[in-house]
Each structure stands twice: as structure tokens, then as C-alpha cells.
Structure 1
Amino acid sequence: LMVEGFQYNGSLIKIEIEAFCCDAPALSFIKCVKPCGSFFGCSKCETQGEYVHNESGRGGRVTLPEIDAILRTDESFRSREQQTHHTGLSILENLPINMTNDFPIDPMHLVYLGAMRKLLHIWCNQRRSMKIRISKQIISEIYGILEDIAKLIPVECSRKT
């Protein structure tokens, strides 16, 4: 359909894919690559992650410390220049698409569950001496609003909290 299109009412209709919009777990599944939290999981660059232990000494996470890492390209993706990034051969590689640029990064995991979550934790749990702080009253009001919104979310949506 992307190459030859199809006829409809005497007109040739070609299909064009602008982007695949999916969350991070779905992205790694359909592209057959490592998940974003793994050592070779970045879909945009070829950096190797480093494991950083939590301050408590229990657990930790993989971080991507390089700022100027080699960028992943469609060509480097398809030629498997970083073999450790791939878990298999994706059927999507048969399509005339860009295997890096046509897959935008999911903001939910990076922003809403990442940086924003951390900022809210800092603002809500800091001592009174901090200049930027959310009061307990406002936190309570926010929770009330979120609980009201959660009642309106259909049961098919698994993320209510």
C-alpha cells in the first residue's frame, strides 16, 4: 500500500506513515529492541547505560551518562551497528520507513513518570525552609481532583493512579 497504493473510485490512493506513536514498552516490542531502561536501550543514540545504585544501597537504575553520544540512524539501525540494541528482526524493517525518526519518544515515561514525578516529590516532601514548596492543603486538593477524574476513566484504561 505504501509503494503501489490502491484504486478507490477511480483514484489512486497511496498510504503514507508519518509516525508510530506508542509507549516505551510497545516501541521496544514492535521494533524488536531492548527496552529503554536497559544498558543498550536508547532508541535515539548508541550510548551504553551505566548502573547506578540508590543512595540507600538497595536497588538502582540504568542511566545514560553520555551527552554527545553517537546518534542512531536508520542505516545504523538496519545494519545492526550496535548488535546489543536488537532482540530480533522487526517486520517493520520491510517497510520504507525510518526506523529511528518515525518513532517519537514517549513523553509519559520520560516526563510525566520521570522528571515531573521527581519534581513533585521534591516539592511535596521538602522542609519548610525550601522556597518552593506545595502546602499540605494544596496537595490534599490535588488528590481530591485526581480522585474525581479517576472515577471518569473507563475500566479499559489500566492507568488510573
Structure 2
Amino acid sequence: IAPHNAYYACRKCTTKGLWVSNLITCHTQPKTGGRVTYPELDAPLRTDVSFRQRLQIQHHNKDNRRSIIEDILTNVVDDVCLDYMHIVCIGVYKKKINEFLNGKGDRVRLSPDNINA
């Protein structure tokens, strides 16, 4: 299936992601790049049937290989967990903590004294 940052990556619905460019200038250097966001809040939900029938082909791999998970689980969409550690802690929080500690991104830097307080 599509990786977590792809345009059709949502595991639970059929929304198409939207590319948003970074507009932040930090330390007089423009920040390049951006991110895929999913602003549509009422997109049709993905179902086990729609997943197995590949109704949104962009969500699946291009060579149309089936995962062994499809043979094991009775409901691929509902039975695959979206876990907090991988979605939030390792991604967003890790990035923000690194930005705070290294003084990049938000023009905010935490000193060791602030961290230990």
C-alpha cells in the first residue's frame, strides 16, 4: 500500500492528500520542501471490500501484489491498528524535539537549563 506520506495514504478513508509548501524563513535562510496534508474531513471511508477490490488503485502498490496480511485478516481496514507510537511519537514529536534542541524551524531554542527545570 501507499507509504504514510503519499497522496492516497490514509488507511481509513479515500481522501487525496494536498501538497503544502513550507513558507517559513528561519535564520535568514528560506526553508524548502513541504508536506502532504489531508484537509478533507468527510471523505468516504475505506472498507474491507473496497480495499480488497482495489477500488482506489493509487492506495495500492503499482505491481498489484497482494499482501499476505490480506490472507490472514478478516477485515484489513478495521483489523490493522494505527498505533500512537509510530504515528505521533516517532514522527511529529521527534521532529519537534530536534527542532527545539537544535534551534531550527520555529525560532525557539530550549537551553539545557530549560529542559532540566
Deviation digits for residues 127-147 of structure 1 (CA, Å, limit 9, x no counterpart): 9xxxxxx664132x38xxxxx
2:80 matches 1:112: no
Matched length: 102
Equivalent position to 2:69, from 92, 96, 104: 92
Are the counterparts in 1 of residues 21 and 35 from structure 2 also a CA contact under 8 Å? yes
TM-score (norm. length: structure 1): 0.53
> Secondary structure of 2:79's partner?
coil
> Secondary structure of 2:78's partner?
coil
Instruction: Report the Cα distance in structure 1 between the residues aligned to 2:95 and 2:68, rounded to whole angstroms.
Output: 37
> Secondary structure of 2:76's partner?
coil
**Structure 1, unaligned stretches of length 5 or more?**
1-32, 128-133, 143-161
**Cα deviation, residue 115, structure 1:** 4.5
**Sequence identity, in percent?**
41
The CA RMSD over aligned residues, in Å, is 2.7
Equivalent position to 2:16, from 44, 48, 61: 48
Instruction: Report the Cα distance in structure 1 between the residues aligned to 2:94 and 2:48, rounded to whole angstroms.
Output: 32
For 1:75, give the aligned amino acid.
V
Deviation digits for residues 59-84 of structure 1 (CA, Å, limit 9, x no counterpart): 11111111111111111111111011
Which of the pair has more CA radius of gyration?
Answer: 1
Could you say which residue in structure 2 is the equivalent of 1:74? 48
2:57 matches 1:83: yes
TM-score (norm. length: structure 2): 0.70
> Secondary structure of 2:77's partner?
coil
Instruction: Report the Cα distance in structure 2 between the residues aligned to 1:89 and 1:60, rounded to whole angstroms.
Output: 31
Could you say which residue in structure 2 is the equivalent of 1:137? 113
